Amino acid sequence: MNESAGYKACLGVPNVYPENAIADCFADIQLTNSTFWAPLSREGLKTRCLKEISQNNTLQNTVENNGVSVVDNILSITCPFECNERGTCRNGTCICYDDYGAADCSINLNDPPIVNGVNLDSGGLCDTRHCSEFIVEGDLFLDRSTLTCRMQRFEIEYHGQLTYLETVDVEADHNSISDVICPFPKHQEGRSADPFFVSGYKIAMSNNGIKFSESHFVYILDSTCQDTMNVSGEIKFVLKDGYCFINGRCISDGTQDSTNIYSVCRYKSDLFNWSKRM
């Protein structure tokens, strides 16, 4: 407590009682036989200190020998949780050492963020009609340029065969500590040689672009003609009645091929190829 820069800065502030914070800290250690809660006593003292200086007009107009106001001096060295001894406090902001991040430098960048899933609100699906990005939900996502989505593309044939394709790293768009956005990759390699029914990505997250979380699936489909069903807890993809699925597009029954007037969709005859007009 005595070594804290914020604690020292607040010693002379009226109506702030450091001895009470020390007593609270001591009591917590006795009750829990641990120092786990000790920093909270120090942070509570700093909170009371900052509240006092925000309301004390005299302090706000008091200038120290170095020409800096008392308020500015306290604010400049009062960082959250003393940067957890993993960074330096500069003008009230933690400048974290390498491998650490967050406002108080509490997160080790080598520990990947927690990922609960992708597009959870839509059941892990992405409808091509209105989906242009993937929302990843979890915890401990840091707002930094190295926040990375690792995205491995895959394709699934109608009968369920899954083929993995290219993997790309994309910079994530940080929304909050609990959710980020992964945009669609701008460049993709050609599709696999076999016809596919549904595509998607396995997505893993990293705060430093090196250590990644476990991967989670998101599936891309067109709900115009494609649907899902649960089979023993496993997601399966099916084609709705009245549609063909030709060259990656939903074609309603009876629709003529725009390039061949003698070809039409006959879903009862062939789901995935044009049929000859009778």
pLDDT tens digits, 249-274: 999 999 999 999 899 999 999 999 99
- Euclidean distance between CA atoms 260 and 203, whole angstroms: 40
Has residue 147 got a pLDDT over 60?
A: yes
Has residue 115 got a pLDDT over 90?
A: yes
Please provide the average confidence, as pLDDT, over all residues in the chain.
Answer: 88
Give mean pLDDT, residues 124-135: 91
Q: For position 219, what pLDDT does the model report?
A: 96
Between 190 and 145, the more confident residue is 145
DSSP 8-state class, residue 121: G
Is 149 within 8 Å of 155 (Cβ atoms)? no
Residues 6 or more apart from 27 whose CB is under 8 A from it? none
pTM of the model: 0.74
Domain ranges of the chain: 5-77, 114-225, 243-276
Q: For position 7, what pLDDT does the model report?
A: 76
CA 178, distance to chain mean position in Å, is 6
**Percent with pLDDT over 70 in the chain:** 95
Q: What is the end-to-end Cα distance of the chain in Å, rounded?
A: 89
- Euclidean distance between CA atoms 64 and 212, whole angstroms: 48
Give mean pLDDT, residues 236-260: 94
pLDDT tens digits, 187-229: 555 554 457 899 999 999 999 999 999 999 999 999 999 999 9
Q: Which of 17, 16, 15, 35 is nearest to 25 (CA)?
A: 35
Give mean pLDDT, residues 179-186: 91
CB neighbours of residue 82 within 10 Å: 23
- Euclidean distance between CA atoms 155 and 160, whole angstroms: 9
Q: For position 67, what pLDDT does the model report?
A: 67
Class level of CATH domain 114-225: mainly beta
Q: For position 193, what pLDDT does the model report?
A: 44
Confidence of residue 176 (pLDDT cuts 50, 70, 90): very high
